[in-house]
Structure 1
Amino acid sequence: MWLLRTDKLELVEFSEELAPKYAILSHTWGPDEVTLQDVQAISRKQWSQSVSQTASAIKAKKGFTKIKRTQALAAKMGYRYIWVDTCCIDKTSSAELSEAINSMYRWYQKASVCYAYMEDVEYGCNGSASGQFYLICQGSRCFRRGWTLQESIAPEDVLFYGRDWSHLGSKAKDEDVRISLAAITGIDVRVLEGIVPPREMTIAARMKWASPRETTRSEDMAYCLMGLFDVNMPLLYDEGAKAFIRLQEEILKVSDDHSIFIWTTPEFETPKEALSGLLAETPKHFAHVESYRPMPPALSRASIAWSSTNHGLRIALSIITILDKEGNEVQAEVCAPRTPSTRYLAWLSRQNQFPIRDKPKSLTISYL
């Protein structure tokens, strides 16, 4: 991994296992960011007029000020290195980009501290904004972007800063910040407190955290969630919604939690077909999720392996026969308990002898 020194504009490459302590930046990208190649151009040993002109153009970028302020902040706190995604990944190398994105959650988790810079938040006061965090920060773009979800969860501490780098609060030290973050993002406050690791939350709950967020490229909505579910997969840009299907298949390889099937298409979204596959096409389909408990493996039969075939997903599910509103017998998949006395059911149909999801706009709640 590349780390940027805090005393000069110089990148140093380390193996992850031998990396020194570092601070890490969480932010939203703008149109004028500094790249790894920009930093290397400025730090060239042989200076010339053309290099000088290039350096001046790079330093005029808006993103350059963000890096310098991050360096200064980290240096003041005693850190010799920082990691910033704009300039610490060689995005011209597909192999390095893939490695970085697959490792990013872990890099945020291992950072000594994370600085969350919210360029669109005005505060302008000295001292923490604790007690006012929700009112000041709720509309920030940081809470609407896909990549910043993991950046709020993975680091042990996140220090929040406004546009002028005024300190807004600490995730680890300020209870008001944690409560506000939970209200703004939907993330369980116990996860933000570090009491409950994300892996102990159900799949559907974690998907719901991502449901209101956006990414510039549709594939990134899947890639930015890999770390949250502790899975890895190759990056295939231009695959569109297939990336999110691949993500769910990777999750099913390592999880017995069938809450992954508790999804519905939004009311305003008209499905192209009345039927669909068993897996959701986007995290937005988990926005409805309420309270439920993970289904015990014995009931869900989740201990039976699944496989991906040329016909689609092959998995052992608990399926029951119930009556629909017209009194007809239909099959439904038992997804997960909702309460001690109720459970979620997903309507199923059959096509060429294979079960597929019917009525994707709704789930049924039945009594045990």
Structure 2
Amino acid sequence: MRLLYYREDYREDGELSITDDLATNAIPPYAILSHTWGAKKDEEVTFDDLADNAGREKPGYKKIQLCGEQAKRDGLQFFWVDTCCINKANKAELSLAIRSMFRWYRNATKCYVYLEDVSIKKRKRVDTLSELTWKPAFSSSRWFTRGWTLQELLAPSGVEFFSRDWHKLGDRLSLKAQIYETTTIPYDVLEGASISNSSIDERLRWAQNRETKLKEDAAYCLAGIFDVDLAPVYGEGTEQAFRRLHDKIQSREDDIRKREDCLRDLRPTDPRNDKKRIQDTKGGMLEGSYRWVLDNSSFKQWHNDPQSQLLWVKGDPGKGKTMLLCGIIDELQKTLARTASVSYFFCQAADSRINSATAVLRGLLYLLVTQQPALTAHVRKRYDQAGKALFEDANSWVALTEIFADVLQDPNLDTTYILIDALDECATDMPKLLHFVAQQPSVISRVKWIVSSRNWPDIEAQLGQAGHRVRLSLELNAASVSAAVSVFIQHKVSHLAHHKKYRKQTRDAVFEHLTSNANDTFLWVALVCQELEKTAERNVLKKLNSFPPGLDALYERMMQQIDASDDAELCKQVLASIALAYRPLSLAELVVLTERLEDLEDEAEVREIVGLCGSFLTLREDTVYFVHQSAQDFLLGKATDDVFPDGVEAVHRAAFSRSLETLSKTL
């Protein structure tokens, strides 16, 4: 791609220059001009004119000058105009330019449309008022009748329209009503929705009644609209050009279907949905609870030092590791949206979909190829032969690690950030995952990793083998974590005070108790506030002292409350079923596995029982989850005798029997 620019001493009559042909990765930000060519052959400034420092006397020079001046006002040194930025004598360059045109317009920082047949005329009315008369001319402009200008309207992120005298008329958004009336292109497309969301027939209708100077261009100008690569063969005729275009479109549609099949089979879960579910379950993101990490010296070393490629965030249960990573993901996506990819995965031991090493790699790959579709080729190379079994058979781990390595070594891979939360909750093949992660930072420099876990010695030993590693211990950053927990407490108390209409005395007492007993643990605060949501204000002060500090102590108190309730046995059966399930259970599945739930009259009562299980469980839509992995750990550890009085095997046996009974009734 060649770009125009004026020398630094640019004046109105300064010298217009053109760059050499730039490689894709060397193209600076630029503006691009969309216009219609003059009727006469010699009106436009050509590539040869620029080479000979000529062409200023041509009518087409004015719009080049106006484009350059506008680009400079917009802070851009470089700009592109098709009349003179392509060496048309070089057939290979011309062919490549035609095939690259859609991408060049799409990647432009600014796109200016010059409407030579639209001017602003003013009619004086009552001395000072004037009436604009350009809108009819805008709708009937020749620019809307040309074939190539369709992609120039749709490819850029924004399009600005200028009159013959370079008065700005508006942009694609502000003029969408007039553009829609003229072109029938829907509002959502004009507002930036993906063109691919529109059907093939609809996109072809947009091109109806548009004209091109060369007959084959009627087909070639649509290649970008359909995201296909169509090499120009001038002289082949319109019919053959459209036949090739339709063949390319059909081939792409077939390829898209195969790609969709591949992505569907690759995806064990969509990590974006898991992130949203986790955030919703924990009450939403609170910036003040994670922003401290952005100024942390370990985080900044990892982020800014090219040699620091792996950051290990470690801390005890409930210290906010997961929400910390959610916040980091949000910050990376906000600040690096156009320059880097962010892929992430949240392990959860209680959910079989997302608690294995293969699930982690599948989820990470899924997000990577979703953001950078060209990377799908590395997956398809094997998937097209093996199908879904590639991701599920006994050799899936080997295949996935090889695919992942190919993706990370792809020379076209963007700078990439990979985050894995809760390595300790990878219940299946965690050593393999740890070994794989530890190897990567020393291999690919443009890929940076963040992992989080509890303070487990075996994880420490494995990650200790990684080169270029930075460690961020939440316990060693107690002051920052404490400040973040304080922000969280203020937020939760404000919500309680507003929702429960606390008096100042009650509000202050709740704040003081939470601050004094939280021990820098987000989860403890969340669980206590969840209990207070169910408590009338008159009983709050009395109840506060019953919340002991420490997660285990709080869990023990919750079990004592369950023991004292009228539904103690039923609640324990529910907790036992959930604790041993391979994945989170729906309400209907929970009823099948828990015999005494069948006696309840309706789903509302089942929901009530789930709600009575202390704060061990949370209900999202119709699925029951543990509020935190530490809750399941407590039930399977310190509370085993209480929850499984007849032993874990008895609960397994009962679940198996009831499952068989249900199958016999339904099959």
TM-score bracket, shorter-length normalisation: 0.5 to 0.7
Q: 2:59 aligns to what? A: 62
* Cα drift, residue 256 of structure 1: 5.1
- Confirm whether residue 16 of structure 1 aligns to residue 24 of structure 2: yes
Q: 1:5 aligns to what? A: 5
Distance 1:142 1:111 in 2: 19
- Residue 159 of structure 1 contacts residue 170 of structure 1 at CA under 8 Å; is this kept in 2? yes
Aligned mate of 1:123, from 102, 114, 120: 120
* Cα drift, residue 244 of structure 1: 1.1
Aligned mate of 2:188, from 190, 198, 212: 190
Could you list the per-position Cα deviations for residues 114-169 of structure 1 after superposition, in whole angstroms to 9, with x for gaps in the alignment? 000000012146xxx9x977534011000000000000001111110111111110
Distance 2:133 2:188 in 1: 21
- Residue 172 of structure 2 contacts residue 190 of structure 2 at CA under 8 Å; is this kept in 1? yes
Distance 2:78 2:121 in 1: 27
- Secondary structure (helix, strand or coil) at the match of 1:2 reads coil
Aligned mate of 2:51, from 34, 40, 52: 40
Distance 2:208 2:254 in 1: 22
- Confirm whether residue 82 of structure 1 aligns to residue 79 of structure 2: yes
* Cα drift, residue 17 of structure 1: 2.1
Q: 2:143 aligns to what? A: 142
Q: 2:371 aligns to what? A: none
Distance 2:199 2:254 in 1: 10
* Cα drift, residue 66 of structure 1: 1.4
* Cα drift, residue 69 of structure 1: 1.3
Q: 1:156 aligns to what? A: 157
Q: 1:221 aligns to what? A: 218
Aligned-CA RMSD value: 2.0
Distance 1:16 1:233 in 2: 19
AA paired with 1:3? L
- Residue 117 of structure 2 contacts residue 137 of structure 2 at CA under 8 Å; is this kept in 1? no
- Residue 98 of structure 1 contacts residue 235 of structure 1 at CA under 8 Å; is this kept in 2? yes
More helix by share: 2
* Cα drift, residue 255 of structure 1: 1.0
AA paired with 2:17? E
AA paired with 2:204? M
AA paired with 2:178? S
- Confirm whether residue 106 of structure 1 aligns to residue 106 of structure 2: no
- Residue 36 of structure 1 contacts residue 89 of structure 1 at CA under 8 Å; is this kept in 2? yes
- Residue 120 of structure 2 contacts residue 134 of structure 2 at CA under 8 Å; is this kept in 1? no
- Residue 118 of structure 2 contacts residue 134 of structure 2 at CA under 8 Å; is this kept in 1? no
Distance 2:154 2:231 in 1: 23
Could you list the per-position Cα deviations for residues 263-315 of structure 1 after superposition, in whole angstroms to 9, with x for gaps in the alignment? xxxxxxxxxxxxxxxxxxxxxxxxxxxxxxxxxxxxxxxxxxxxxxxxxxxxx
Please say which structure displays the higher CA radius of gyration.
Answer: 2
Give unmatched runs, 5+ long, in structure 1. 43-54, 258-368
Summarize the Cα distance change of 1:60–1:133 in structure 2 as closer, same or farther, 3 Å threshold.
Answer: closer
* Cα drift, residue 89 of structure 1: 0.6
Summarize the Cα distance change of 1:208–1:256 in structure 2 as closer, same or farther, 3 Å threshold.
Answer: farther
- Secondary structure (helix, strand or coil) at the match of 2:111 reads strand
Q: 1:285 aligns to what? A: none
Q: 1:165 aligns to what? A: 166
Distance 2:134 2:121 in 1: 13
- Residue 24 of structure 1 contacts residue 115 of structure 1 at CA under 8 Å; is this kept in 2? yes
- Secondary structure (helix, strand or coil) at the match of 1:227 reads coil
Could you list the per-position Cα deviations for residues 232-259 of structure 1 after superposition, in whole angstroms to 9, with x for gaps in the alignment? 12211111121111111110001159xx
- Secondary structure (helix, strand or coil) at the match of 2:60 reads helix
Q: 1:179 aligns to what? A: 177
- 5 Å-filtered alignment, 1:163-312, equals 163-172=164-173, 174=174, 177-194=175-192, 196-241=193-238, 242-255=240-253
AA paired with 1:40? A
AA paired with 2:5? R
- Confirm whether residue 93 of structure 1 aligns to residue 90 of structure 2: yes
Distance 1:233 1:74 in 2: 31
Distance 1:132 1:171 in 2: 19
- Secondary structure (helix, strand or coil) at the match of 1:28 reads coil
Could you list the per-position Cα deviations for residues 66-108 of structure 1 after superposition, in whole angstroms to 9, with x for gaps in the alignment? 1111111111211100010001111111100110010100100
Summarize the Cα distance change of 1:38–1:193 in structure 2 as closer, same or farther, 3 Å threshold.
Answer: same
* Overall identity of the aligned pairs, in %: 44
- Off by >4 Å, runs of 4+ in structure 1: 131-134
TM-score of the two chains, using structure 2 as the length reference? 0.34
- Residue 6 of structure 1 contacts residue 79 of structure 1 at CA under 8 Å; is this kept in 2? no
- Secondary structure (helix, strand or coil) at the match of 1:59 reads coil
Summarize the Cα distance change of 1:133–1:256 in structure 2 as closer, same or farther, 3 Å threshold.
Answer: farther
Distance 1:198 1:227 in 2: 10
Distance 1:239 1:183 in 2: 34
Greater RCO, CA 8 A, separation 6+: 1
Could you list the per-position Cα deviations for residues 156-186 of structure 1 after superposition, in whole angstroms to 9, with x for gaps in the alignment? 11110111111110124x2xx0121111111
Q: 1:26 aligns to what? A: 34
- Residue 6 of structure 1 contacts residue 75 of structure 1 at CA under 8 Å; is this kept in 2? no
- Residue 71 of structure 1 contacts residue 82 of structure 1 at CA under 8 Å; is this kept in 2? yes
- Residue 146 of structure 2 contacts residue 211 of structure 2 at CA under 8 Å; is this kept in 1? yes
- Secondary structure (helix, strand or coil) at the match of 1:10 reads strand
* Cα drift, residue 218 of structure 1: 0.9
* Cα drift, residue 62 of structure 1: 0.5
